[in-house]
């Protein structure tokens, strides 16, 4: 911090002083640390300007003898450059001032009421008012939005300056042609309009014909030329007979020139800028190019329009314009106007800021009175005369409007100055307050103290915003006292300072030494002890699981539950913390959070709890021993402490009789014709089916059966017979022996894998045994299951589903099976229907030897106790959308995906999964428990209308704009 209380060498009573030190970080977990919370802004000497963020209004005031700038409304720099050049054309400005106004109050001499703003009605009136402001305004820059709006220009799209100039001059000329005053009616023709003739000469008889054409500027081709005069010569070039068609030759001849000439064209056919240097002089003699050489045609350079950028529709425009009255050059760059030193044109900096060209050429040397540029887009030459420059006087009516605007500006300046002064006064008072209170802020040992939130203290020390009343409700528990978890965001301050705060700013409730909730502290300690005990019990259970259980003195536990029991127990403890937080939320005005969470939990299909993975669809012990194991009584007793409601099955418990019968029937149906089945990967089946039945001309043929992917590194099988017909059916396909013989003839097989039914004397379902070649590898099977669990937390590009809840009612997955579509199927298989009667290579047949059906994972339905357990392969329904996500993706990034999918802004999204609210935008999806195939509920907190972005259409210039079809004409 900038200052801190430190004792002197020999401290006495109150012998303290401020000593500047380096800023330090605050210990956010320590309620006694009051360093680095924003106090360094106030300690020590402070400049008055730091008490406000209001710029000096005088910086917006026009300087003496300076020109007024124009605001860039987005992409209107090309308009601003022309307005400044036209303004400095005194003849044009004076002519516009002479145009009569159509304002009825002005015509009748009544004057415009002060409570009503002036609104120009014609293009001439807009220019009049704009020029009057540029001439006599007190502002540093003015807003030309009225003029731009009247022309119908798009402020966000830059147009070609040359095209704008020609169209506007044509519009202005047509508008002024209706004026009675000839000085006004003919001003555009006199200043900007010239004539040249297309001269056609017969090469046989010498007869000559002319076609007169008007121009506002000479569009000269600079490509291949180094000097402006060379460009003019090419423009007026006389073709030779060999160059002419038939027996005639054609050339152009200058008939008359205006007072102002505009030259250059740096565009290619695609409006791409030519970045080649061109030389031009300050004085230009046009007599050699004239048809009649009996006049004065000496022109002097008066303006240079500069373009930075590669295209006429991008980049930036500025203008260097000479003041006709003083002869000094000024650089006009929207709001900023810079006077050039001396009376010389300076274009060097404009060349340095230009875009580097691929064919960069060295800048040629320029002699005295000449210049060269590769960014000069237009050159404006003015007829040189010895007459004294005009003085354009602002009419009384316009001057009255300018003075009215100047009064508004002065009022604004005074208002800003008063606000600055008031801010300084308040800042000084706050400065003294902070310096005094911060010294007494720490609570001394044995003295009364109170808790105040760190956030409020930081706002109190923030000079930019005045502090609001103290609000401690967010730190309260469900009992109305200070929550122990909120201590980390609170600060302990002295009772003296707390009394001052509450008197000055109000708020509450006040949290003194007795405010800490004893019940919540006890509960938190209990949970912490349980978590510590969980670590000890985990080690104990791990050791107990190593002991072999003899006889029937044990209990059945699901292998999946054993792998994740510690995580499940930890989640239960965390849920108790969440319940306490939700109760706290009820005290703070969020009572509906818990109700919504409970409702969503009921709506969501429940996940398997501890030991429910060995429960069969009938609520009894499942028949598959590969999915369960026996643990000792001691181990079960420990596990039961954490999961008292877990299903309990002693090792002597018989398997479900109904499942035995079902298994027997299934086995009987499967093996009524054979005692062995062969195995291939489902990937091979899908690739072959795609080639044969889907798109054989667009798919590569299948040449081999890669079964090595189904075996472990030791060569053992990694799947059990039970898993092949259930959760692993998406990886495994069972094949008839006859089909296998055909496969061996058609494809290269790396490994033969088969399932064999063991013949026994008994015919009961319990006696049916299966063996595999190669044998099952138990260690690798366990490793595969563990890896699958890890993959659920460490995945990339996995599919999850977002379900939009309408009126708090979730559409159940089984409600409309005809709408179910699996999003994980290949795109082409979703688009094309499966041919009827297609022979499925997977093994299965019905009772009467009818058509076999594929045993697939999505068709296998497992029944939970008292309900339906959902298949691990999700089936999408109406109202859901599938999204591709990664485990390391943040919740904020997911909300952006949801915004694009559902058109719901992130701040309107209320997301939950399995009844748990997802609100930490910085947390990753893996940390939040979002796994592949998860379903996230989306609730919209409010309805928002969104504007769709229009597609950028090809450039159409000024098509449809006022410049082409003007309401003023």
Residue numbers annotated as active site = 77, 316
Which distant-in-sequence residues (6+ apart) come within 8 Å of 100 by Cβ? 107
Nearest alpha-carbon partner for 198 in 190, 187, 209: 209
| 628: its two tokens | 């369960």
- Write out the DSSP string of 340-361: PSTT----HHHHHTSPPPTT--
Report the interhelical angle of 396-440 vs 123-136 (nearest 10°): 60
- Write out the DSSP string of 216-241: SS---B-TT-SBHHHHHHHHT----T
Pairing of strands 260-263, 376-383: antiparallel
Phi, psi (degrees; rounded to nearest 5) at 801: -125, 135
> How many whole angstroms separate alpha carbon 71 and alpha carbon 63?
17
Nearest alpha-carbon partner for 765 in 626, 657, 863: 657
Q: What is the largest CA-CA distance in the chain?
A: 131
Tell me whether the omega of the peptide bond preceding residue 785 falls within 30 degrees of 0, making it cis.
no
Residue 911, Cβ density class (10 Å: 0-12 exposed, 13-18 middle, ≥19 buried):
buried
Pairing of strands 449-453, 490-494: antiparallel
Element (H, E) at 85: helix 77-87
User: Which ranges in 747-833 belong to alpha helices (H)?
Assistant: 778-791, 827-831
> How many whole angstroms separate alpha carbon 621 and alpha carbon 147?
85
- Name 916's bridge partners: 913
Phi, psi (degrees; rounded to nearest 5) at 633: -60, -40
Residue 570, Cβ density class (10 Å: 0-12 exposed, 13-18 middle, ≥19 buried):
middle
> How many whole angstroms separate alpha carbon 820 and alpha carbon 813?
8
Nearest alpha-carbon partner for 91 in 188, 175, 14: 188
* CA 662 to mean position of chain CA atoms: 55
Element (H, E) at 279: strand 278-281
Buried b (16+ CB within 10 A) or exposed e, 610-645: bbbbbbbbeebbbbbeebbbbbbeebbebbbebbee
> How many whole angstroms separate alpha carbon 958 and alpha carbon 956?
6
Phi, psi (degrees; rounded to nearest 5) at 848: -90, 20
């Amino acid at each position: 911090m900038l200052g801190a209380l430190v004792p002197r060498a020999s401290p006495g009573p109150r012998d303290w002083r401020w000593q500047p030190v380096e800023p330090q970080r605050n210990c956010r977990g320590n309620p006694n640390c009051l360093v680095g919370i924003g106090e360094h802004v106030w300690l020590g000497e402070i400049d008055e300007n730091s008490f406000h963020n209001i710029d000096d209004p005088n910086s917006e005031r026009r300087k003496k003898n300076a020109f007024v700038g124009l605001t860039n409304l987005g992409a209107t720099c090309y308009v601003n450059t022309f307005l400044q050049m036209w303004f400095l054309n005194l003849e044009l400005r004076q002519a516009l001032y002479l145009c009569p106004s159509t304002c009825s109050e002005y015509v009748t001499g009544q004057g415009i009421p002060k409570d009503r703003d002036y609104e120009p009605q014609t293009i001439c009136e807009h220019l009049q008012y704009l020029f009057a402001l540029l001439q006599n305004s007190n502002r540093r820059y003015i807003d030309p939005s009225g003029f731009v709006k009247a022309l119908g220009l798009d402020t966000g799209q830059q147009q070609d300056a040359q095209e704008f100039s020609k169209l506007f001059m044509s519009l202005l000329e047509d508008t002024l042609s209706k004026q009675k005053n000839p000085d006004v009616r003919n001003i555009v023709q006199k200043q900007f309009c010239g004539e040249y003739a297309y001269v056609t000469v017969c090469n046989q008889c010498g007869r000559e014909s002319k076609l007169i054409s008007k121009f506002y500027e000479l569009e000269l081709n600079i490509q291949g030329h180094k000097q402006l005069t060379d460009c003019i010569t090419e423009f007026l070039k006389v073709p030779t007979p060999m160059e002419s068609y038939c027996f005639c030759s054609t050339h152009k001849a200058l008939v008359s020139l205006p007072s102002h000439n505009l030259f250059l064209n740096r565009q290619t056919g695609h409006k791409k800028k030519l970045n080649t240097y061109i030389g031009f002089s300050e004085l230009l003699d046009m007599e050699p190019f004239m048809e009649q050489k009996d006049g004065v045609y000496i022109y002097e350079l008066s303006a240079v329009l500069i373009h930075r950028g590669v295209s006429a529709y991008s980049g930036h425009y500025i203008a260097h314009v000479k003041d006709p009255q003083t002869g000094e050059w000024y650089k006009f760059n929207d709001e900023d106007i810079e006077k050039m030193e001396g009376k010389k044109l300076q274009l060097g900096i404009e060349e340095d800021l230009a875009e580097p060209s691929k064919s960069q050429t060295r800048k040629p040397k320029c002699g005295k009175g000449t210049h060269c540029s590769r960014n000069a887009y237009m050159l404006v030459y003015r007829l040189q005369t010895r007459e004294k420059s005009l003085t354009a006087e602002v009419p009384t009516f316009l001057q009255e409007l300018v003075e009215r605007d100047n009064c508004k500006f002065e009022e604004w300046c005074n208002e800003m100055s008063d606000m600055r002064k008031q801010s300084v006064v308040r800042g000084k008072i706050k400065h003294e307050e902070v310096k005094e209170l911060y010294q007494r802020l720490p609570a001394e040992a044995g003295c009364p103290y109170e808790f105040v939130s760190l956030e409020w203290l930081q706002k109190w020390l923030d000079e930019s915003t005045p502090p609001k009343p103290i609000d401690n409700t967010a730190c309260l528990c469900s009992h109305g006292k200070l929550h122990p978890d909120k201590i980390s965001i609170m600060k302990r301050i002295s009772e003296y300072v707390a009394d001052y705060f509450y008197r000055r700013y109000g708020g509450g409730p006040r949290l003194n030494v007795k405010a800490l909730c004893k019940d919540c502290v006890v509960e938190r300690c209990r949970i912490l002890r349980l978590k510590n005990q969980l670590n000890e019990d985990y080690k104990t259970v791990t050791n107990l699981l190593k002991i072999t259980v003899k006889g029937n003195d044990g209990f059945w536990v699901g292998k999946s539950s054993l792998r994740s029991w510690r995580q499940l127990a930890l989640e239960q403890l965390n849920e108790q913390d969440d319940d306490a937080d939700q109760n706290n939320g009820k005290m703070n005005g969020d009572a509906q959070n818990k109700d919504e969470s409970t409702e969503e939990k009921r709506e969501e299909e429940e996940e398997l709890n501890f030991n429910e993975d060995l429960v069969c669809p009938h609520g009894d012990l499942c028949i598959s021993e590969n999915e369960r194991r026996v643990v000792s009584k001691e181990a079960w007793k420990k596990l039961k402490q954490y999961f008292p409601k877990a299903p309990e099955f002693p090792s002597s418990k018989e398997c479900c009789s109904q499942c035995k019968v079902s298994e027997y029937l299934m086995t009987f149906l499967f093996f009524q014709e054979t005692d062995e089945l062969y195995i291939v990967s489902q990937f091979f089946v899908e690739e072959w089916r795609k080639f044969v039945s889907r798109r054989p001309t667009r798919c590569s043929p299948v040449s081999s059966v890669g079964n090595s992917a189904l075996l472990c590194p030791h060569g053992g099988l990694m799947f059990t017979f039970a898993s092949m017909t259930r959760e692993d059916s998406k990886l495994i396909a069972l094949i008839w022996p006859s089909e296998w013989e055909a496969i061996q003839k058609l494809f290269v097989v790396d490994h033969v894998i088969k399932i064999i039914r063991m013949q026994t004397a008994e015919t009961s379902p319990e006696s049916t045994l299966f063996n595999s070649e190669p044998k099952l590898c138990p260690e690798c099977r366990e490793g595969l299951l563990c890896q699958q669990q890890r993959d659920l937390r460490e995945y990339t590009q996995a599919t999850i589903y977002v379900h939009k809840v309408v009126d708090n009612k979730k559409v159940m997955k089984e409600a409309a099976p005809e709408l179910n579509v699996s999003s994980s199927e290949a795109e082409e298989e979703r688009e094309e229907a499966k041919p009827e009667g297609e022979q499925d290579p997977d093994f299965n047949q019905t009772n009467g030897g009818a058509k076999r059906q594929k045993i697939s994972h999505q068709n296998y339905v497992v029944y939970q106790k008292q309900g339906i357990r959902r298949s691990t392969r999700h089936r999408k329904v109406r109202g859901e959308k599938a999204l591709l996500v990664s485990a390391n993706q943040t919740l904020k990034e997911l909300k952006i995906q949801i915004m694009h999918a559902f058109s719901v802004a992130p701040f309107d999204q209320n997301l939950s999964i399995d009844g748990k609210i997802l609100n930490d935008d910085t947390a990753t999806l893996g940390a939040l428990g979002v796994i592949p195939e998860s379903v996230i509920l989306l609730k919209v907190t409010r309805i928002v209308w969104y504007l769709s972005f229009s597609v950028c259409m090809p450039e159409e210039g000024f098509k449809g704009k006022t410049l082409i079809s003007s309401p003023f004409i």
